[in-house]
Structure 1
Amino acid sequence: MIRTRGTGRGYALRGAAAVAVVAMTAVTAGCKEQPASGASAAPSVPVNSGSPTDDAKPGGASASPSASTPAKASPKPKPSASRTTPTADPQGKVLMASGAQGKQVRELQARLRQIGHFDRTPTGYYGTVTVAAVQSFQGKRGLSRTGKTDTVTWQKLLGMTREPTAAELNPPTTRPVAKPDKRCLTGRVLCISKNSRTLSWMIDGKVVSSMDVRFGSEYTPTREGTFSVYWKSRHHVSSIYHTAMPYAMFFSGGQAVHYSSDFAARGYNGASHGCVNVRDEGKIATLFAQVRTGDKVVVYK
């Protein structure tokens, strides 16, 4: 065995260099979106998470037809010679039904929410949750529970609700913002809730802005705890995955809050490799300009 002599100072310098290499590797690693299928798939979406089956607007050109084109009512069955057909309730012309999307659907959802029939923020897409909400409203008003919004149902709803405000029609997040963790109530904090999938930028206990976020998959989870922003990189690109991470604000090793074009396109049908993805580019651009190095980051359930 060959022995090497050296001073304590030499060992310290070599140790510091090794630590620096490890730190740079962690920072440049970054994270990348993962597909929903396979071993790295994102965990199943909660019932009120806003997937295409529960009222989140589907992306791409294959989106459902606009709400401006009323769905046709199902044809009434012809009377049978062997029995008498019961008289159907006069429901009127169908204005909106499953698959419709647009401003009128958003207003419908906002009005239903005012009287407790729609338990989330409006999405503008008429999915299974909206169908169930309309059925609930119709059932309590003695109307046929078709789940379709016809003229009778619509007029009844208008008479029981007020015109929704701009904030009610277009809330800052798809889902209600979570109650802030107590660690978020002092100072400048990126307050990030995994359960509500929202990020709130808070200063001295007041919410300045909020936005939708998504996290890592079961196999590449986003770390929970209290951190601080130690590096900001406006045009960051992951050195491992070679994918863009615009407006990156690193808070734990290679994990950062950043804009994700994949999240913007596919919603929650995917996941990151641990980063906190934001899908509204305008909001994160504003956030990036306001957040300073050293600001606190709290990730909690």
Structure 2
Amino acid sequence: MHRQRVMIRTFGLAAAVALAATGCGPQKSGAAPAAPSSPVAGSSPAASPSTPDDGKAGASSPAASPSQPSSPSASAPSSPGVKPIMANGDESEQIRELQARLRQLKLLSTAPTGFYGSKTTAAVKTFQSQHGLGATGSVDEATWQKIQGLSKKPTDDELRPPTTNEVDAPDPRCMQGRVMCISKESRTLAWMIDGKVVSTMDVRFGSENTPTREGEFQVGWKAKEWTSTIYHTSMPYSMFFSEGQAVHYSSDFAARGYAGASHGCVNVRDKAKLSALFDQVKVGDKVVVYW
């Protein structure tokens, strides 16, 4: 209560209302999902695409909260009579291995996620074209055998690399002003000023049950030290942009990587980078979360 009274004096009544729902924290296996807050009045979060891409939030490990079941997409292209074993819209550990092998073959630059999206589809099409296979973009038995024959069994580090993700092309809304440009596809945050990237860092999102909202927002308030009022977990360097959702450091993300998920916040695992970003970002700066 003392902390809330301090925040009320600092940020006023509007911020005090937001404090009642700062609900981000790491998801734990078997924990009941919390209902996500409604979007901020006046904001226009973009609807999630029907076929999200490789960086699907919370989809990178069985340890994360469950998301879409693994089943071939009805719209996945395939040759008549040839049944795909992996296709756009699917999610599995076999797809994580496929992505790691495609990285070995220099056909995929992003880290494996286990979700088969547009980048994986494009990489598979390129491979098929290079080797005289039907360029469907989905993996049938012949394509899978060829990929396995030309690559080696991925190591644990290749399946879940600790390295920084490659930054995605910025959304057009990120090209003007001061923006935290956050891509769900590449799982990166790019701090941009007038269209130029100043710094980048890996991020993690909410699960399928507690998704991180997409759209264009503003930083409403900041707190260098904060504790979730719902989950009672530490949220250092919090920058709130959509009610209880914030960009903040996560020790769970630093320890477990993409084997977990947040309850809707944008987690950062590099504390030093986020500390520097926290000092630069001002209340009122733009936040864009997009696929």
Question: Which letter does structure 1 place at the counterpart of 2:222?
Answer: K
Residue 18 of structure 2 corresponds to 26
Seen in structure 2, the aligned counterparts of structure 1 residues 25 and 203 have a Cα distance that, compared at 3 Å, is: same
Counting aligned pairs with the same residue, the percent is 59
Give unpaired runs (5+ residues) of structure 1: 1-19, 54-108, 123-134, 150-168
After superposition, residues 188-207 of structure 1 pair within 5 angstroms as 188-207=178-197
Aligned-partner SS, 1:298:
strand
| Equivalent position to 2:211, from 221, 236, 245 | 221
Mapping 1:276-295, distance limit 5 Å: 276-295=266-285
Q: As a proportion of its length, which structure holds more strand?
A: 1
Q: 1:177 to 1:186 in 2, by over 3 A?
A: same
The structural deviation recorded for 1:242 is 1.9
Q: Distance between the aligned counterparts of 1:148 and 1:264, measured in 2?
A: 23
Task: Give the secondary-structure state (helix, strand or coil) at the position aligned to 2:277.
Answer: helix
Query: What residue number does 1:40 align with?
Result: 33
Distance between the aligned counterparts of 2:54 and 2:182, measured in 1? Answer: 20
Q: 1:98: which partner in 2?
A: none
Q: Which protein is bigger by CA-based radius of gyration?
A: 1
* Shift in Å, 1:147: 4.1
Following superposition, the deviation at residue 139 of structure 1 comes to 4.7
Shift of 1:116: 2.0
Contact 1:233 1:249 in 2 (8 A): yes
- Normalised to the residue count of structure 1, the TM-score between the two structures is 0.52
With a CA cutoff of 8 Å and minimum separation of 6, indicate the structure with the bigger relative contact order. 2
Which string of whole-angstrom CA distances, capped at 9 and with x for unpartnered residues, describes residues 168-219 of structure 1? x99643xx21111100000100001112211110011111111111112222
State the 1:114 CA deviation. 8.8
Secondary structure of 1:297's aligned partner: strand
Name the structure 1 match of 2:174: 184
Give the AA of the match of 2:277.
L
1:126-156: per-residue Cα shift (whole Å, max 9, x none)?
xxxxxxxxx979955xxxx76489xxxxxxx
The 1:37/1:268 distance shift into structure 2, 3 A limit, reads farther
Letter of the aligned partner of 1:26 in structure 2?
A
Secondary structure at 2:224's aligned position in 1? strand
Q: Give, in whole Å, the separation in 1 of the partners of 2:199 and 2:231.
A: 30
TM-score by length of 2: 0.54
Closer/same/farther in 2, CA of residues 52 and 229 from structure 1, 3 Å limit: closer
Change beyond 3 A, Cα 1:261–1:220: same
- For the aligned residue pairs, the C-alpha RMSD in angstroms reads 3.9
The verdict on how the C-alpha distance between 1:232 and 1:23 changes in structure 2, with shifts beyond 3 A counting, is closer
